[in-house]
């Protein structure tokens, strides 16, 4: 029997009054869908070192290995569904007048659950990009004769995700930073808050006056700085928050 989840009076007050809300999500939100996280005990990185795979130099050194690793992850992701955490986040988008989901995840599960007001800080595994001319393509190229598949320009295709040492897309980072500064209520959900610049967003929100809530199964780098730490599974805690909102918030749409 999952333990009873109680929300503090301060958080309940914020949930009822906040107009501008931001949620930063990480791999922990997808873990209940069966997707390994990066740094948990059975995390993806256990088997590989990030430097070995999720960097431009790794791709230049061994494009086949990196492409195969993403093909393996793509296949895994295609076989799983959004979990109650993704569904709850999609519902919260409809409850608050101004809402932005800032995800570090590349698994497309938020979109599958119905989230629309979101930015993808680290790209999306379902999209490909040419390593040479940067042209984006969405077809899986699963029938390609070469591994990785080739762009019409002759360059190798790579997943359209942000690797370590690569800049985040300005069209995602800039709105994420602006919304974090304007937020009255900021949730950090299922992220170890180790990867920058994504991990700077909770601090940006806090310094600008937001009430910052962390939802995680364990403590993280930002736990000492948040206003409320809800320890537990995102798939159990977020539905409790949505239930509270639906029962108590006047202007719910």
Active-site residue list:
122
Minimum distance from CB of 204 to ligand BV8 (Å)?
Answer: 15
**Site for ligand BV8 contains 162 (CB under 6 A):** yes
Cis peptide leading into 197, omega within 30 of 0?
yes
Q: Quick check: 117 and 123 in contact, CB under 8 A? A: no
130 binds, among ligand BV8, Zn ion, none (CB under 5 to 8 A by kind): Zn ion
Q: In what order do the strands lie in the sheet with 98-103?
A: 118-120, 98-103, 20-25, 185-189, 211-216, 228-231
**Site for ligand BV8 contains 39 (CB under 6 A):** yes
Q: Enumerate the β-bridge partners of residue 23.
A: 101, 187
**Site for ligand BV8 contains 72 (CB under 6 A):** no
Minimum distance from CB of 78 to ligand BV8 (Å)?
Answer: 16
How many amino acids of this chain bind ligand BV8 (CB under 6 A)? 37
Per CB under 6 A, the list member of 38, 96, 186, 187 interacting with ligand BV8 is: 38
Question: What span, in angstroms and rounded, lies between the C-alpha atoms of 129 and 156?
Answer: 9
Per CB under 6 A, the list member of 5, 32, 92, 113 interacting with ligand BV8 is: 32
Q: Quick check: 188 and 202 in contact, CB under 8 A? A: yes
φ and ψ at 223, to 5 degrees?
Answer: -50, -40
Per CB under 6 A, the list member of 101, 179, 195, 213 interacting with ligand BV8 is: 195
In the block, which residue shows the tokens 């990185």? 45
Question: What span, in angstroms and rounded, lies between the C-alpha atoms of 244 and 148?
Answer: 48
For Zn ion, the closer CB: 61 or 135: 135
Per CB under 6 A, the list member of 62, 126, 217, 223 interacting with ligand BV8 is: 217
Q: Enumerate the β-bridge partners of residue 22.
A: 100, 186
151 binds, among Zn ion, ligand BV8, none (CB under 5 to 8 A by kind): Zn ion
For residue 242, which of 3, 23, 1 has the smallest C-alpha distance? 23
For ligand BV8, the closer CB: 97 or 165: 165
Q: Using the rule CB under 6 A, give the single segment among 14-22, 92-100, 193-201, 241-249 that binds ligand BV8.
A: 193-201
What SS3 state is found at 210? coil
Which parts of this chain interact with ligand BV8 (CB under 6 A)? 26-28, 31-32, 37-40, 43, 54, 104-106, 122, 161-167, 190-192, 194-197, 215-218, 220, 233-235
């Amino acid at each position: 029997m999952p333990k009873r989840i109680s929300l503090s009076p301060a958080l309940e007050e914020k949930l009822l009054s906040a107009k501008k809300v931001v949620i930063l999500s990480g791999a922990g939100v997808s873990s209940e869908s069966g997707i390994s996280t990066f740094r948990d005990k059975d995390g993806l990185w256990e088997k590989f070192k990030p430097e070995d795979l999720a960097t431009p130099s790794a791709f230049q050194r061994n494009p086949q290995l990196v492409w195969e690793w993403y093909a393996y992850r793509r296949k895994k992701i295609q076989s799983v569904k959004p979990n109650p955490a993704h569904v709850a986040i999609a519902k919260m988008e409809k409850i608050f007048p101004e809402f932005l989901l800032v995800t570090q995840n590349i698994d497309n599960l938020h979109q599958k659950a119905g989230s629309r007001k979101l930015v993808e800080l680290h790209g999306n595994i379902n999209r490909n990009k040419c390593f040479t001319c940067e042209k984006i393509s969405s077809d899986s190229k699963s029938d390609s004769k070469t591994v990785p598949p080739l762009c019409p320009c002759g360059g190798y295709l790579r997943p359209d995700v942000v690797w370590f040492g690569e800049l985040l897309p300005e069209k995602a980072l800039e709105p994420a930073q602006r919304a974090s500064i304007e937020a009255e209520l900021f949730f950090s959900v299922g992220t170890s808050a180790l990867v920058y610049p994504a991990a700077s967003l909770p601090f940006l929100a806090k310094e600008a006056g937001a009430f910052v809530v962390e939802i995680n199964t364990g403590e993280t780098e930002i736990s000492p700085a948040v206003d409320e730490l809800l320890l537990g599974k995102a798939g159990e805690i977020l539905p409790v928050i949505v239930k509270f909102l639906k029962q108590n918030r006047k202007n719910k749409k």
